[in-house]
Structure 1
């Protein structure tokens, strides 16, 4: 039996822009709270129903005692459970590990559209970890310590600079850092090759792959690679770090996503309408 999940919902403000809810999937070491700081309300105020949830063992969801045993397939099951409550095909938005979960979900399911933010690429973490170990070995070892001991004080400075811009890393960033938690070792192994992705471009919905130009964790080269793999739209945002939904220029990311959503959802709606008329 699946653990009870922590789920947050916001109804659209004013006239709805779309009947398709936005479902936000968080990355490793965090929970639904990372979307609730800005994105959940911001997109609701723009006319979208928004949903965020904590994966099992994260945030306020159940299953904490068995978190280290949770697999990527378990996380896909959590996403399936949330989508089943909606009554409409969702737009899926995933950050980092959340993007990998969405790719696995799309192997067996459909979505109205998908946005991968600073996402683990389809080949997993091997390339990003290798690039990090070569270019930023101090960050590579601190990421390993984060998994081993959790958000310890001595990790904050270097990890903080990788996650957030320097001018907020000392205030809001310290609060965010304290809310991090260790990740499932099994899920991390899945992303190192134990559970590869078999999704093809032919099976993907309309997709935007968006990254941070100077991301030290999921490097911009890998963002571009993922976009090419799925024939997806592609955007890199300047002056922002890996935690794109929390960093100083988060609104620039949200506006890029909104502009893309408005074009794609309106276009798809018109296409479906034309087919119905025919």
Structure 2
């Protein structure tokens, strides 16, 4: 899978794409395309290692968008980065919908999960949706609740994460910072390949993303299927926050263990991929 770029509706997108459905079966033509939205300190490449190849093997067309300011994306955020991400993802869904001519499943991970929730509640996007997947997602209550919980439960991690977001490559030269972050992201000690998958495209985050809570308006409703998945050993988005998200959408959460926040590259990622691909295929 190689990165692709396109201009659509006056916006520039960089994304990974894979489509093997003609090689699988004619039945695959009825399956919804899946759009992955990554989280902090990563890019669309995050899903190319395990998730997209597994989905492809079942005939699911997949796209993985790189948010502006991440990876090799050439477009920089404006003074309102969170709004940029929402507008970009909404427009990208329009693009995929036009390409595939059928509704889309949007799968948001971590920060990408909160962005996905905002996008999927837009009235103009709802008709283009087949479902919404939230993986270790920032809860609907937004960053204020999540940040407060992290500060109270693990202030050291909160401080280290802040340093890594501001200057990731320099901060991770500090062995202590590196060990704290790895311990927070993985349930089991990762190998160098796993670390490379997760940390290969580190770029500083725009802290304006996290200074406002960006909560979901609880007066809005979503009429498409939703699944909420979490990692039992996650220290960034703990089980209590995943449960709060599931309650908000009226579904039962699904947890994977042993697994930390780095779900797309964790040791047990095959089980996660099998569940999500099966869920998408059932729509």
Quick check: 1:8 aligned with 2:8?
no
Which of 238, 250, 266 lines up with 1:219 in the alignment? 238
Which runs of 5 or more residues in structure 1 are unaligned? 266-278
Name 1:245's counterpart in structure 2. Answer: 264
Return closer, same or farther for 1:48/1:200 CA change in 2, 3 Å cut-off. farther
Give aligned pairs, total: 259
Quick one: distance in 2 between partners of 1:28 and 1:132? 16
- TM-score if structure 2 supplies the norm length? 0.84
Which of 56, 61, 81 lines up with 2:91 in the alignment? 81
Quick check: 1:205 aligned with 2:224?
yes
- Aligned ranges 1:58-137 → 2 under 5 Å: 58-63=70-75, 66-67=76-77, 69-86=79-96, 87=98, 88-108=102-122, 109-110=125-126, 111-137=129-155
- TM-score if structure 1 supplies the norm length? 0.86
Task: Compute the displacement of 1:129 (Å).
Answer: 1.9
Bigger mean CA deviation after superposition, 79-88 or 45-54: 79-88
Return closer, same or farther for 1:167/1:243 CA change in 2, 3 Å cut-off. same
- Aligned ranges 1:15-30 → 2 under 5 Å: 15=25, 16=28, 18-30=30-42
Bigger mean CA deviation after superposition, 241-250 or 231-240: 231-240
Runs of 4+ in 1 over 6 A off after TM superposition: none
Return closer, same or farther for 1:68/1:242 CA change in 2, 3 Å cut-off. farther
Which of 165, 180, 184 lines up with 1:158 in the alignment? 180
Quick check: 1:172 aligned with 2:190?
no
Contact 1:18 1:47 in 2 (8 A): no
Name 1:236's counterpart in structure 2. Answer: 255
Quick one: distance in 2 between partners of 1:196 and 1:130? 14
Name 1:55's counterpart in structure 2. Answer: 67
Give the secondary-structure state (helix, strand or coil) at the position aligned to 1:35.
helix
Contact 1:3 1:56 in 2 (8 A): no
Name 2:208's counterpart in structure 1. Answer: 186
Name 1:269's counterpart in structure 2. Answer: none
Contact 2:188 2:258 in 1 (8 A): no
